[in-house]
Structure 1
């Protein structure tokens, strides 16, 4: 028994196969195209591979028993990530519209899916550019000798080193005090930090230039931006493997603690990581595929990029864990406690280390290499391009608005706000959007039509794996993750970790409760994008009924007028 919801007018909203072939032959249409397949693939790799692979994946491995986390990650990558990636590539290539236009073409009531993707892309672009500003700040400071985070500064009287640095470490002090000037709680804003503000403006200026240049120009940059990070990681890996004890860290990474597999949190984090590392449900991948030839093999693309993405996550984790093994051996610390070496200090190994309390921030600092700066700028460009207008003026106004909103991350409490955005802005909305995408294609657009589209584009219909994944397995996995995510978040206290020199446990980050008003912010971050899908559908439905009623009333009035005219004697 097949289930498909009614969808009148679909044939009028999408191009027929004959029209697609005609446009292909004439090279017509108002959409630009990729110069070649390599440019397209590298752009997709640059969009998918980023901080999620280098920063988030190794941290989750550390939190969930090393190799144990790889098992659910790889399982969900196959059952959840690859099917949705193939679906986004195929639907964008078939309908030939961006992340917003695709869903309105399938059905006007589905416009909210594109709007939700837009909102998530906007929020993530806001704090990604803040990370880029931090990266630029470290990049500029890396030309000093000695490095400013390699030793503690003297106090005002030059009678000794600063107490806060002495009680923590030079790396922590430079990050929390010299860079962020962190406040002890989120309620104390601490004012703007002008040095980060300048880097912030610089980042948004470069991003604006990247956006207005379009894929014709920025597409060529991916030859460098998508490949150099692998060169840098390889250099770090070679350096790491020369260190004493590095193989102990690698052994821990690939030795699973099977008890972790029984914990729901391990599977939940693995599912969320698949979305994060693939950049699924952002709308960017749909936009990219819409610039392809209509007969491009999107199935092959999805498999290749998935393999590259999974490999990059494991490869980056291996690089990180060579350093973990070294630090555990050198300092006689347990790797699980999180005391590892920052890649920032890769070539000044005795001088810098990080703890589990500031793992996120310091691993972000490894991105101070210029290839990673460009790659993250490219990612922000792709995120923003999913909803920006083509006009230079509109793009400039939007970038200026985003730059102003991003000032919230440049305050002394900005680090806490960024963590809040990262935790709630890119979790629930992405799950909702991804579920709606798959449900819409299978049950509103129609799985049979979708199969015919793929056969038209690549020459054969999807096999049993794709069919089972799209129809049942992937939507069910996403629904289970979403339900358990809600259960987990509702049952736990909402805490954040604060850098407070007055705390008794300093330099350990102190866990504090968010103020009560933060729930309003969480609803704005997570609730509004997720609710955009049903709210837009209801609004479209109401407007359609009003328009139909008005049309009927006009017809009735016209009939009445005609009847009255007939009654007039000749």
Structure 2
């Protein structure tokens, strides 16, 4: 059960709630055996926030996922994002096609999966967000939880810009024609070449899709830079406001209100991806692109870079060290089989990346075929793939408006799924630290959304692409590696792998000898080694931030490191006072040990 008899007596839990919790304590797949009769098809995921029971401190209880499937859907929606669409395929191309899959899945087993599972276990066992989890697990490193929440805040702050760009393109796709396919717009240059034009007849020709993206959507010109940033553009401000409005309305009542859209944002991209796959696989040159994507170049496996990129993709794709995984799992029932969830989410995320790569390379194969170019000449990653390459390809298809609208609706859905997780991490962190805020969640959501929208106005300037690129490279950076490494070291060498494995079995999961050996060896040896190598590789790459093959000046690179450091500073901020207060009374090692409040479902510690 999620609550012990003593807690039931103390907190005066209603009899109906006890019966509900008792009946819910089953394997998580059991409710789906008779889905047609037990779970309506339109059932929305939500957290039991309607409980009227109170904790001993008089605060509203956090609740749990109502539907056993909700946690899996939420984690899947958070993990599967734009990186699966525009980063993974590019890495496959860069590192010899199918040969990249070997280090990817190897490092998934020894690094990605162990860190992901560890965070799910910590969140489910403690029943609180990252701030309180680490305050209870290791008081000296309470700042680690704050660092994770700050990463989620920065990520949500800049990642919403992708939604605003996608909204712009979605509206443009609803017209009678695609504006980026022609050169008769006011922003086009004399050297503009339309999608169906011939660039060989014009000197220094520029594609109409590039001019639409750079000169119209971004308002960007070659003179726009960090020293000529420009002013907010009303069109960009409008789409950014609409993006924040979507987030605020979706989360206005916490995770319960987001449950109305979480199934949509999680599964809608798969439906669109399948539709795009059916269309792209039938295009001329598609199989040339797929063959290029899957054909391995075994010599690449001998290089160091392919292993670093594979490990980076695995870690960043699953999304640990941002606090979101701990936040989502903290709403699980205590005896949920989260090990099964972790394996299914990680496998689904990886297979989504592989399938997305096939779709993307089928489209790129078609583009290379129609343009009579080599595959290497049409491959891009990041925003260039989503807002330049694909719009050009879709303009050449029959029914271009429909496929363009579907694609950008998919981008919006993918980005929102990740943003919801990050935003909920911020809210949960604040409410766990200040429980009285739990009664004012709606106001808190509106205030945070309004503040982030206001602070994000520089993204709407012509030079805003530089600011986005800087945050994209700096906010989720080597700080995440430090956070993940800290988690693993704390559990493996201070808390103890035997204790965490006992906690797992305390939550009702039975581990055989192989599973115990696998998790132990990974947490103690393999995972820390991979994370240390990644950290050293990141530090060796100092001053690497660039845009369009132009490196930013050193002062901008320093700002990037300040952004990264702003998430790390929380660790010494909380560690130093703790050490000073305990210098004459407590041994340092005890400050890395759990407090007496570290117990299963530790929510009571949050409201005392």
Question: Counterparts of 1:232 and 1:539 in 2: how far apart (Å)?
Answer: 52
Question: Counterparts of 1:96 and 1:297 in 2: how far apart (Å)?
Answer: 15
The alpha-carbon deviation at position 535 of structure 1 amounts to 4.0
Aligned to 1:517: 555
Aligned to 2:604: none
Aligned to 1:466: 519
Aligned to 1:4: none
The alpha-carbon deviation at position 483 of structure 1 amounts to 1.0
Structure 2 counterparts to residues 2-401 of structure 1, below 5 A: 25=18, 27=21, 30-154=61-185, 162-163=189-190, 165-166=192-193, 167-184=205-222, 185-339=225-379, 342-344=389-391, 347-349=394-396, 369-388=408-427, 389=430, 390=438, 391=440, 392-401=442-451
Question: Counterparts of 1:164 and 1:264 in 2: how far apart (Å)?
Answer: 42
Question: Counterparts of 2:73 and 2:360 in 1: how far apart (Å)?
Answer: 24
SS at match of 1:393: helix
Question: Counterparts of 2:421 and 2:585 in 1: how far apart (Å)?
Answer: 36
Map Cα deviations across residues 51-98 of structure 1 (whole Å, 9 max, x no partner).
111121112222222222222111111111111111111111111101
Cα gap change, 1:547/1:165 in structure 2, threshold over 3 Å: closer, same or farther? Answer: farther
Map Cα deviations across residues 229-252 of structure 1 (whole Å, 9 max, x no partner).
111001111111111221111111
Map Cα deviations across residues 477-520 of structure 1 (whole Å, 9 max, x no partner).
10111112212x13xx53523xxxxxxxxxxx4x3342232133
Question: Counterparts of 2:252 and 2:82 in 1: how far apart (Å)?
Answer: 24
Moved more, 96-105 or 371-380: 371-380
Question: Counterparts of 2:107 and 2:425 in 1: how far apart (Å)?
Answer: 26
Cα gap change, 1:17/1:235 in structure 2, threshold over 3 Å: closer, same or farther? Answer: same
| Contact 1:50 1:375 (8 Å CA) reproduced | yes
Cα gap change, 1:546/1:221 in structure 2, threshold over 3 Å: closer, same or farther? Answer: farther
| Contact 1:121 1:384 (8 Å CA) reproduced | yes
Moved more, 235-244 or 524-533: 524-533
SS at match of 2:180: coil
| Contact 2:289 2:363 (8 Å CA) reproduced | yes
SS at match of 2:456: helix
**For the aligned residues, what is the CA RMSD?**
2.7
Aligned to 1:533: 571
Q: Is 1:441–2:511 an aligned residue pair? A: no
Question: Counterparts of 1:268 and 1:221 in 2: how far apart (Å)?
Answer: 36
Q: TM-score, normalised by structure 2?
A: 0.77
Gaps of 5+ in 1: 1-14, 354-364, 498-508, 549-570
The alpha-carbon deviation at position 223 of structure 1 amounts to 2.2
Question: Counterparts of 2:298 and 2:288 in 1: how far apart (Å)?
Answer: 19
Q: Is 1:404–2:454 an aligned residue pair? A: yes
Question: Counterparts of 1:512 and 1:476 in 2: how far apart (Å)?
Answer: 33
What is the total number of aligned residue pairs between the two structures? 504
| Contact 1:34 1:216 (8 Å CA) reproduced | no
Gaps of 5+ in 2: 22-52, 56-60, 194-204, 431-437, 587-608
The alpha-carbon deviation at position 460 of structure 1 amounts to 1.8
Map Cα deviations across residues 127-148 of structure 1 (whole Å, 9 max, x no partner).
2111111111111111122111
SS at match of 1:422: helix
Determine which structure has more spread, i.e. the larger CA radius of gyration: 1
| Contact 1:182 1:190 (8 Å CA) reproduced | no
Cα gap change, 1:347/1:522 in structure 2, threshold over 3 Å: closer, same or farther? Answer: closer
SS at match of 2:367: helix
